[in-house]
Amino acid sequence: MSVLDDIIEGVREDLEVRRALLDDAGIAAAAAAAPPARDAFAALGGVRDGSPAERDTRLRVISEVKRKSPSKGALADIPEPSELARQYEAGGASVISVLTEQRRFGGSLEDFDAVRAAVELPLLRKDFTVEAYQIHEARAHGADLVLLIVAALSDAQLAEFLALTRELGMEALVEAHTEDEIDRAVAVGARIIGVNVRNLKTLEIDRGTFGRLADRIPADAVVVAESGVRSVEDVVGYAADGADAILVGEALVKDASPRQAIASFVEQGSAAKPERVRA
């Protein structure tokens, strides 16, 4: 069993516990009653009904509230997720990601709720989406983005979940790791496509993966570099290879000054961005 398969097995078990407390009809009703979602596509620099050339060249940062990871173990205590989120917002983050997977990442919906109450930025509910219930659940808690991992879903599921996400007014960060997964994301009409340079089967990092795959993504999509950010040099490298945004967790939760770190990422990453050349 791969790491991804093991994580998903635990996610399904934990989901059934929550479903026993609030069934599918109840979570759908809660999602429908939630305030409208914020525009995460625009926050990440996306342009609707216009030319990609109309985008500004600022690198966006998706800053993550992340307590631990399968590869590194415990990263940070984060006693007050709301305070960390406020620092992210003040530093210039465009979106905040909150891990809600419990077993491998130490996350929770309680962490998500604390962040939602603290900031006005769009929020990504970062979890392993395998059922429609989780998408309704994300919206019920005020999420504006959900994560859809191509490797974890069939083409039919990917299309169904993306359609549901948009029906609920949200966006999806559609995550890919290979050329085939990029093509599958593009085929279902993903507008925000993440290239994760971490192999979810081995957990190894290959930062060169981003440069090899980014050019396959259409110019009208937002392309996000995920994983592997240790320093501003990595940010500059991703930006130079065409990233519109980066998703950073570990480097920020371990930094004594995440506000300043984000500001530096935005400034230096923006300066390194080339003219858009993707087809």
| Residues involved in catalysis | 64, 66, 126, 175, 196, 226-227
**In whole angstroms, what is the distance from residue 279 CA to residue 261 CA?**
32
**In whole angstroms, what is the distance from residue 179 CA to residue 41 CA?**
23
Q: Can you tell me whether residue 163 is helix, strand or coil? A: helix
Beta strands (DSSP E) in 116-261 are: 123-126, 145-149, 171-176, 192-196, 222-226, 245-248
Torsion-angle region of 74 (φ positive above 0: left; ψ -120 to 50: alpha; else: beta):
beta
**In whole angstroms, what is the distance from residue 178 CA to residue 189 CA?**
17
Burial of 80 (0-12, 13-18, 19+ CB in 10 A): exposed
Nearest residue to 93 (alpha-carbon basis) of 136, 47, 32, 43: 43
Nearest residue to 217 (alpha-carbon basis) of 268, 178, 169: 178
| Cβ-proximal residues to 132 (8 Å cutoff; 6+ apart), any chain | 24, 160, 161, 164
Radius of gyration of the chain (CA): 17
Enclosing H/E stretch for 214: helix 208-214
Across the strands, what pairs with 177? none
